[in-house]
Amino acid sequence: MIFNSPFSHPGIRSFLFVVIPALILVATPVTVVATNVLIETPLGNIELELLEEDAPQTVANFLNYIRNNRYDKAFMHRSINGFIIQGGGYAYADGSAFDIPSYPPVVNEFKVSNTRGTVAMAKLNDQPDSATSEWFINLADNSSNLDAQNQGFTVFARVVGDGMLVADAISELSTVDAGSPFSNLPVIDFSGNGALTEENLVMTVVTEISGVAPFVMNAGLNDAWFNPVTDGQGFFITVFPDLGVVTLAWFTYDTELPSEDAEANLGDPGHRWLTALGTIDGNTSVMTITQASGGLFDTATEIDRISDGTITLTFEDCNSGTAEYDIPSIDRQGVVPIERIANDNIAVCDELTGE
């Protein structure tokens, strides 16, 4: 399982796995005109919103590679399911894999936490200012790992729309060991015999989309939301723009069906509430889930509360959004498309968006 011809690699950008908790405070955002980037892959497209205010030099560095065509014929060269997919370091042409020519390293600008759906720069171990061309997409909440080592991995973009569905699909591809630095190389329709070709690789085309004005959460989103496919469960969402926070209550069901003779009586097993709180970051909020248990309806009993994973709430406009969840206690992850139930505040939301 090798490429048709050899190549050189001056340094492998990798990660240390040190788990140290970190607290990241996110300021209330200001609406700006953003630059988005489209990554086309054989499995679909991934759109990125660049975080120019949070990591201006890193964004400028990334755009410099795009505008000077240095990502031409690049491919995703590293995939670790449940952790990251990585690209931007190597290209493939004429039967050979080769290093992407790099510009001087960019200064570390760690600010935004490495949660699921964020995009960060790879760098050399113990060299915080060594990032050049390689980037990775966080497939999970890696904040406890990547925020606290090597002075933090700089997040410079966020996946928007349904791009994480594509990222997840890439991470689910088979991987092969094609020799360092391709020991976790994702491949397409490769039996393991013979030389790898371009058709076996997750090739990428990276282009700039200029002048996109991102949607910003506002109080017009305060409403009841649901996914019609799973009718009978949904969300109450409240946005507090002045405080820069958003709250969510998800009324849902157990992970297993109740017995056939169970009735939907108030307080019976089979119905559950999750609440979540997070800071607003443009059109997105990464919210910490709180689960409560042990109580009885309208009764003064002791309640147990635990933090259990995250919900990433994202809105593209006033009418639709997604709630992406990661709940470790039940090992469940997913993306729920949501829409309004009553459409009470669309006009208010549209008016606030136009400010």
Q: Choose among 203, 205, 198, 240: nearest CA to 219.
A: 240
CA atoms of 36 and 27, how far apart (whole Å): 21
Q: Choose among 175, 176, 102: nearest CA to 134.
A: 102
CA atoms of 303 and 300, how far apart (whole Å): 9
Please list the pLDDT of the chain residue by residue as tens digits (355 residues): 444 333 323 233 333 222 223 323 333 333 344 579 999 999 999 999 999 999 999 999 999 999 999 999 999 999 999 999 999 999 999 888 999 999 999 999 999 999 999 999 999 999 999 999 999 999 999 999 999 999 999 999 999 888 999 999 999 999 999 888 899 999 999 987 888 899 999 999 999 986 556 688 999 999 999 988 887 788 999 999 999 999 999 887 766 666 777 655 545 555 577 899 999 988 899 999 988 777 777 778 777 788 889 999 999 888 888 899 998 888 888 888 899 988 778 888 988 876 5
266 secondary structure, DSSP code: T
Cβ neighbors of 354 (< 8 A, separation 6 or more) are none
Asked if 145 and 21 count as a contact pair (C-beta separation under 8 A), the reply is no
CATH superfamily of 34-212: Cyclophilin-like (2.40.100.10)
Question: In the chain, what are the domain boundaries?
Answer: 34-212, 219-353
